[in-house]
Amino acid sequence: MRQIFLDTETTGLSPENGDRIVEIGCVEMVGRRLSGRNKHFYLNPERKSHEEAVRIHGLTDEFLADKPKFAAVADELMEFLAGAEIIIHNAAFDVGFLNEELRRLGRAPLGQQVAQITDSLLMARELYPGKANSLDALCKRLEVDNTSRTFHGALLDAGLLAEVYIRMTRGQNALVIEEEEETVVVEQDIPAIDLTQFTLPVLRASEAECQAHELILGELKKSRTDLAHW
């Protein structure tokens, strides 16, 4: 399945109150390898950005004034996303904004146009309960270089998320379950044997064997005497 790592930057925090998307970044992965196919859009949000938002992503109203509106890129974006698994960090935030933009155009919500939506933040919380799981925190924990992240940028963050995801899920596709060989011990009731019922034969030495035995003993006695005189 195609996987697409997606991130957005916005004018503020609330799509319900009219905040809009100003940037979308998408990074494609196929078979756990980056394909090199990405999508990146700067958008004119048709409204001013909150100062706090500008401090985060650095996209000023002046910079965005001549950029296309979401309606102009919607077809290209949704064609790229169609049928893929979409992986987003804190998916509720980005999906909320995308769904609002799609609603304005009379289109179906994102979840109805893609294979599935995966929230990497929820994955991280399961893997690292009780720890900070922001993208920056995960980059540090998993040794992903994010030194170029002076501002939050949608395409940059989508690329970082792809690296983080690979490291969070490393080994899952190579998991091999080996069956252990079991030693089966079968217990049987074996009756005790009374050895007293057997008569053991006594084998006596022949005359020749007795003479040979005496000869050997004599030679051993002589050897010991010779050693004693050394």
Encode burial over 185-218: b for 16+ CB neighbours within 10 A, e otherwise.
eeeeeeeeeeeeeeeeeeeeeeeeeeeeeeeeee
The answer as to whether 176 is a domain residue is: no
pTM here?
Answer: 0.74
Q: Which domain holds residue 86?
A: 2-168
Walk across the sheet containing 21-30 and list its strands.
33-42, 21-30, 2-10, 85-88, 116-119
Residues 21 and 43 sit within 8 Å (Cβ to Cβ): yes
Helix (H) or strand (E) holding 122: helix 120-127
Could you read off the pLDDT of 137-196 as tens digits, one per residue? 999 999 999 988 878 899 999 999 999 999 999 965 433 333 333 434 444 454 555 555
- Number of domain units in the chain: 1
The answer as to whether 186 is a domain residue is: no
DSSP code, position 190: P
The answer as to whether 219 is a domain residue is: no
d(CA 186, CA 188): 6
The answer as to whether 136 is a domain residue is: yes
The answer as to whether 206 is a domain residue is: no
Could you read off the pLDDT of 42-63 as tens digits, one per residue? 999 999 999 999 999 999 999 9
Q: Name residue 198's amino acid.
A: F
* Whether 229 is catalytic: no
Task: Give the active site residue among 40, 50, 89, 152.
Answer: 152
DSSP code, position 56: H
**Closest by CA position to 21, among listed 52, 46, 55:** 46
Domain of residue 81, CATH code: 3.30.420.10
